Amino acid sequence: MLAALAHNPAMHWQTSRFAIPLDRPLVMGIVNVTPDSFSDGGRFVSTRSALEHCEQLLREGADLLDIGGESTRPGTPPVSLEEERARVSPVLREAVRLGVPLSIDTYKPELMREVLDLGADAINDIWALRQPGAAQVVAAHPSCGVCLMHMHGEPQTMHRSPLPGDAVPQVREFLRERSEALRALGVSVSRIAWDPGIGFGKTVEQNFALLGRQRELLHDGYPLLAGWSRKSSLGTVTGEPVQQRMAASVAAALLAVEHGARIVRVHDVRETVAALKVWSAAESARTGPGGSIA
């Protein structure tokens, strides 16, 4: 059944308020309410500036938004529950009125429960619900979505000792195990999405293996979310600093979609949306009347 879902155009991601259709690739706009994120830390720390950023991303074509209050760049110290709550909750209270799906990037089960009560649609967890009580919070909710991400190690130390061996089968097996554990708690397949965790405890070569062989992660039928935006691996191969990686980020997003990702998580929404329109037009010409499927 799950394998059949991998290429089912009727697939959707079930979240709290929305059954999000996945018949076309979607763009998730990043809203970092943090002073220290690797790319845009400090730009949207106030509630007002964060909401203005949400509205700007929607004008640029974002389909959904991902709000986070803790940086996960390598070596960054953890943020207390109180501080993360103070950053995220005021933004969420206002953003739920925008009428679009909202995911919250957190691994703290207490905050997961609170943001779901406030109307968040999905939990985006770098720990894949491995923190004590996190899986139970998601399972207790009737319909929220969840994105499970693979991470080797933890944010403070993951850059020191990357994942050994072939990353692709290890990522797939980890995400499969986490999904099965969640399903055993009663969470339906339609609520679960996967993220291979580009840059989270992996070498540059492993990150690009996960992109080049990404279709190997689709066989279990879960929709894939790809987060390549401005990552250090792009800087390694291009030589560009983080603020000049837009072109590389858009290229990586397009390749991820070409290889089956249904959601791309990005900073540069306008440029990614435009690139996907070109990709979509080419796909329609290739597979529509007069075209052929290669």
Region 64-91: mean pLDDT is 92
DSSP 8-state code for residue 104? E
pLDDT cut 90: percent of the chain above it? 83
pLDDT of 173-204, one tens digit each?
A: 999 999 999 999 999 999 999 999 999 999 99
Query: How does the average pLDDT of the chain come out, rounded?
Result: 92
pLDDT band at 39 (very low <50, low <70, confident <90, very high): low
Task: Give the separation between CA 190 and CA 259, rounded to whole angstroms.
Answer: 21
State phi, psi for 64 to the nearest 5 degrees: -155, 165
* Residue carrying the six token digits 């943090």: 34
Contact 199, 167 (CB under 8 A): no
Task: Give the separation between CA 274 and CA 277, rounded to whole angstroms.
Answer: 5
Region 39-63: mean pLDDT is 84
Instruction: Give the CB-side neighbour count of residue 193, counting CA atoms within 13 A.
Output: 33
Q: What does the pLDDT read at residue 73?
A: 78
Which residues are annotated as catalytic?
A: 231, 265
**The domain over range 2-287 is classified in CATH as 3.20.20.20:** yes
pLDDT of 271-290, one tens digit each?
A: 999 999 999 999 999 887 65
Could you tell me whether strands 12-14 and 263-266 are parallel, antiparallel, or unpaired per DSSP bridges?
unpaired
Q: What does the pLDDT read at residue 11?
A: 87
Contact 238, 210 (CB under 8 A): no
Amino acid at residue number 90: P
Q: How far is CA 127 from CA 28, 194, 208, 267, 280, in A?
A: 19, 12, 21, 22, 33
Helices 81-95 & 109-118, crossing angle to 10 degrees?
20
Q: What does the pLDDT read at residue 132?
A: 98
Region 265-275: mean pLDDT is 98
Res. 252: pLDDT tops 90: yes
Report how far apart the first and last C-alpha atoms of the chain are (Å, whole number): 25
Instruction: Give the CB-side neighbour count of residue 282, counting CA atoms within 13 A.
Output: 9
Res. 230: pLDDT tops 70: yes
Q: What does the pLDDT read at residue 196?
A: 98
Q: What does the pLDDT read at residue 287?
A: 81
Q: What does the pLDDT read at residue 43?
A: 58
Task: Give the separation between CA 50 and CA 93, rounded to whole angstroms.
Answer: 12
Instruction: Give the CB-side neighbour count of residue 138, counting CA atoms within 13 A.
Output: 37
Q: What does the pLDDT read at residue 115?
A: 98
The C-alpha angle with vertex 60 and arms to 212 and 223, in degrees rounded to 5, equals 35
Please report, for the chain, the start and end positions of each structural domain, with discontinuous segments joined by +.
2-287
Residue count of the chain: 294
Residues 6 or more apart whose Cβ sits within 8 Å of residue 89: 114, 115, 118
Exposure string for 24-38, b = 16+ CB within 10 A, e = fewer: ebbbbbbbbbbeebb
pLDDT band at 292 (very low <50, low <70, confident <90, very high): very low
Could you tell me whether strands 12-14 and 19-21 are parallel, antiparallel, or unpaired per DSSP bridges?
antiparallel
User: Token digits for 290?
Assistant: 């007069």
Q: How far is CA 158 from CA 106, 134, 226, in A?
A: 18, 21, 19
Region 230-244: mean pLDDT is 97
Q: What does the pLDDT read at residue 260?
A: 98
